[in-house]
Each structure stands twice: as structure tokens, then as C-alpha cells.
Chains A and B, each alone.
Chain A
């Protein structure tokens, strides 16, 4: 198997359990993300999604295992890996624009002030923030607008890998929808590689090229990698009419509802890569797929 752009190899995280023993969050997790790919990771709370995210961001170190990006081992935080935090993490004493220029100036120290401002303003405009709003402080912006600023800050830095930690978790459903659309728009304008944590199945299907499914912790594993076989551009109203949508959705619901628990707490092998799952009913409809519709094509990675 060719090396992925981002490759996570046998990542293990253990914490002391306070009784002298150890608590294993996940063990030997291995998976890859390709360049330009949008990957979502789904799983119940406590399965270690955020821990994986923090390790990828370089904010914490795993007990063992390595993360390689572009062939180089990742250690410590870097401007190559941008992060959008769930609680926005804007600096409240800076205006929206300054929050973005703060990042851009750190990323491109050789740029002139004018260029930094131009670049930042352009990215704020991409997420629909223009005019007076960009000169306001975060406290004067709504939750949705704050998250837009946070997304603009991350994209404006043009990192090699963008990490999104449940970016829409704190937003209401309507705002979430609009910002998802904006996120897709910004993403499709760039060739950004995105790794995103979410709790929301529909959000994951709408946004992702591939969804990684995690079993419940402790000893969580990345069990499956589900390809989203719905062509882009996707639209939230039309996507539900695609024949693959409910097949994929049902598979995900079934995993999270039942199998994530069944598969949990199993001692894993030395190198447990996720099983690749591809669900595509359109092939069936055209009749060029020999397999029965009810069977999932599972291919060992």
C-alpha cells in the first residue's frame, strides 16, 4: 500500500487510571488520509476522537505510535497543521480581522502588512464576513459569525492539513447548515486536506469523502472507513434524494447504534487498519455490479 499523505501508525494512548493501573483510550490505531481529501471521524463520546485530534495537532503526545505527514514525523504544533477548535478560540481583545491577520502574519512573516490584510479580508469574505462586521470584537459577533472567523483564520493560513474539532457543535441547526455550505465552498476553492471530528451523521455525509468509524472506548479502534459515494457538488436538499444516501446513512446509524458497542473492548491486533467499506447502489441500478444489493463490499485495507 502506497504511503498516504498523512499516515497514522499504531497510535496508542494510555492514561494512568488513578489506581496504579492504566487506562487505554485506543490502541494501535492506524489509518491514512490522502492529499486533498476531506475525512470525518465519527464515534461516541469518550472513544478518543479529541485525543487523536490533539495528537494530530501536536498539542499532546501519544503514548506510542507515530504520525507522519508528507513522509516526516510530526512532533509538536506547527503552522502546517491548522486547527479550528469547537469553542472558536478567538482572541477576544482582537477584532475579527485582527484575529485572522494574527494567524496570517505568523504563517507568512515575509509578507507586507497590506498583503496580510488583503489576504485575510479575502478569506473572511469567503465565509460571508464583509464590511463593518470584520472590525468587531468576537463578543459583538454571534456564535455563527465567530465560528466563521475561526474557519477563515484556519483556511487563510493555508495549512497542509486542516483539523476541525466539532466546529459546529455549539451552533443551532440553521446556522450550522449555512456554515457547512460555506465550509464546502471554501474547501472546494482550495485543495485543502481536512480532518474533522463530528457527532452528526448527516453533516459527515454531506461534507466528507470518507468517514472513519470508531468503536466505543476503552480500547477504541478505528474499525471502518466508509467511502461516501455521492458525487460533488453536494447540496443538503438534493443529497437526500441520491440513492446511496440512505444506504450509507443506515450503515452509519447501525454502526454507531449497535456495532460500535459490540466491537468495543476487544484486544486488537498489532496493526489494525480500518476495513474499507464502499456502498454504491448506483452501480447496481446500472446493472454492472455482480454482487447483490444487500451485500456490502468490504475490502481489507
Chain B
């Protein structure tokens, strides 16, 4: 069996699983459809005649997805924005917080990786700050920054900094001494050594840290936006839950997954670009 046929077989299995899963879901929903028989006037008045809010079947979700995705950028007031706008807000917050974190974590990681004194001096702080749930910072951030938007970005910043910082330090510290010696015998200056030898040597480890960070940032933004409200995919999920619109909730859950996958696969490509074999 060559590789292509293996991939094809895997694809057939994936599609089969999807179809079976959707069918089971669809059928289990229609089975619990309520019986609309004769109702008393009292029952009609209390709303027993309308369908009870239930988990929608996949067909309904598909219809909703089609509606939303065919017009993703409409803006009809604070509580009615297109899915594209909501996701756009979330991505903007994630990327802003993330790149601010990278801007600090990567140079600081270089420093910690190159100097064992810096490592030992900063390690206690890292070890205490790292396990703190990013959302625990939220009240403090809201109080100090006094702006919900910036607080959400700060929460993303604080949660994405640790994997990048630790992986950069680890990657830089692990650069083979031979390669550093090559730089030394070629009289490369500190900056040239950092950029032409240490950075490419540590790049796979650094990018792995960046990939972990973006994953965590995307997990955290949903929760953060549920707290700060206003805009974003996290707020959208919570808002639709308040509207009891489970179709939208399921649709937005799927969108969160798809965007997360796209973000991750972008870093997967970057990882492949910087990889090398010894």
C-alpha cells in the first residue's frame, strides 16, 4: 500500500464517521419531538404549545451556518453582529495580546537561556506566576487598566507569555556548544551570533512554544470575552445562550474549533519551515 491510498482510506473513514455521527444526532433529536395533541386554553397560554427549547438537529445548525456565513459582516446594533465581525474581534484581541507577549517573552527567553544567573534569578517568579489561571488576573486588570477591551488583551498577554518564555530559554540554553564555537572561531559579534546561529538553532523549540501559546490564547479568549462582554466570539456564545438560541451556540462552538485549527495549522507550517535534522 502506498501513502496515497492510505490517505484516501483515512479520508473515507473520516467522511463515514461524520455521516454516521450526524445521522445519529439527527435521529435522536427527531425522536424526542414533543407531541402536539389537544391542549387546554391554560396550556396554550403558558406556552406549552411551542416547542420546548431543545438541542437542535444538525440540519438546523447547517441552515443557521449557511445564513450566518453567507452574510458574516452585517452589523445591526450591539447585540446583533455577524459572526465574521465577532470572530474578527476575538482574533484581533488574541493576536494583539499574543504578539505583545512574544515581544517580551522571546528576548527575555534569550537572556534567560544565555545566562544562568538570569535564569536562576527569574525562575522563582516564573514558577509562581505560570500556574495562575489567566482569568484570575481579570479583576485586577479591570481595576488597574479600567478598560474591558484592554483587560481582555492583557489576559491573553499573560497566558501566552509563559510557554514562549520557557521554550525560548530552553531552546537557547540547549544550542550545541560546537555551533557557538563555530560562531566564535568566525569572529561573529554577539548580535550576529544571536541571529545567524542561536536563533536558527533554537527556532524549532521557540516555534513549538509559540504554537502552544496561540492554542492557549484561543482557549482563554472565549472565557475572557464571556466575562468582559460587548463583542467577540466568547460574548456571542454567551449572548446566544441568554437568548436560548442553541442552534447559534452550536454553530459558534464549531466556528471556535475551526478558527483554532486554522491558527494552529499556521504555526504548524512555520514549525515545518524552521525545522532541521541533525
Is A77 in contact with B179, judged by CB distance below 8 angstroms? no
- Indicate if A137 sits at the interface (CB-CB under 8 A): yes
A42 CB, nearest partner CB in chain B, Å: 24
- Indicate if A253 sits at the interface (CB-CB under 8 A): no
Q: Which chain A residue has the least Cβ–Cβ distance from B274?
A: A93
Is B185 in contact with A91, judged by CB distance below 8 angstroms? no
Q: Which chain B residue has the least Cβ–Cβ distance from A90?
A: B182
Is A107 in contact with B186, judged by CB distance below 8 angstroms? yes
CA distance A107 to B185 in the complex (A): 10
- In this complex, how many residues of chain B approach chain A with their Cβ under 8 Å: the count is 18
- Indicate if A82 sits at the interface (CB-CB under 8 A): yes
CA distance A231 to B182 in the complex (A): 35
Contact status of A82 and B197, CB under 8 A, knowing A87-B178, A92-B276 = no
B residues 157-203 touching A (CB-CB < 8 Å): 178-179, 181-182, 184-188, 196-197, 200-201, 203
- Indicate if A25 sits at the interface (CB-CB under 8 A): no
Is A139 in contact with B185, judged by CB distance below 8 angstroms? no
- Indicate if B278 sits at the interface (CB-CB under 8 A): yes
Contact of A81 among B185, B203, B278 (CB under 8 A): B185
- In this complex, how many residues of chain A approach chain B with their Cβ under 8 Å: the count is 23
Residues from chain A with Cβ under 8 Å of B277 in the complex? 92, 137, 139
A296 CB, nearest partner CB in chain B, Å: 38
- C-beta contact mask, A90-120 vs B, less than 8 Å → 1, else 0? 0111000000001100110000000000000
CA distance A298 to B278 in the complex (A): 48
Contact of A92 among B181, B187, B278 (CB under 8 A): B278
CA distance A139 to B276 in the complex (A): 8
Residues from chain A with Cβ under 8 Å of B187 in the complex? 77-79, 106
Residues from chain A with Cβ under 8 Å of B184 in the complex? 58-59, 77
Contact status of A102 and B185, CB under 8 A, knowing A92-B276, A93-B276, A137-B276 = no
- C-beta contact mask, A243-268 vs B, less than 8 Å → 1, else 0? 00000000000000000000000000
A residues 133-155 touching B (CB-CB < 8 Å): 137-139
Contact status of A59 and B181, CB under 8 A, knowing A91-B200, A93-B200, A139-B276 = yes
B residues 196-242 touching A (CB-CB < 8 Å): 196-197, 200-201, 203
Contact status of A83 and B188, CB under 8 A, knowing A93-B201, A139-B277 = no
Residues from chain A with Cβ under 8 Å of B201 in the complex? 91, 93
Is B200 in contact with A85, judged by CB distance below 8 angstroms? no
Is B188 in contact with A91, judged by CB distance below 8 angstroms? no
CA distance A129 to B178 in the complex (A): 23
Residues from chain A with Cβ under 8 Å of B203 in the complex? 93
CA distance A85 to B203 in the complex (A): 24
B92 CB, nearest partner CB in chain A, Å: 33
- Indicate if A188 sits at the interface (CB-CB under 8 A): no
Q: List 23 A-B contacts (CB under 8 A).
A: A58-B184, A58-B185, A59-B184, A59-B185, A77-B184, A77-B187, A79-B186, A81-B185, A82-B185, A83-B181, A85-B181, A85-B182, A87-B178, A89-B182, A91-B201, A92-B278, A93-B200, A93-B203, A102-B186, A137-B276, A137-B277, A139-B278, A157-B186
State the B residues within 8 Å of A (CB).
178-179, 181-182, 184-188, 196-197, 200-201, 203, 274, 276-278
The 4 closest A-B CB pairs, nearest first, are A139-B277, A93-B276, A89-B178, A106-B186
In addition to A85-B181, A91-B197, A93-B200, 12 A-B residue pairs with Cβ atoms within 8 Å of each other are: A57-B181, A58-B185, A77-B185, A79-B186, A82-B185, A92-B276, A103-B186, A106-B186, A138-B278, A139-B277, A139-B278, A157-B186
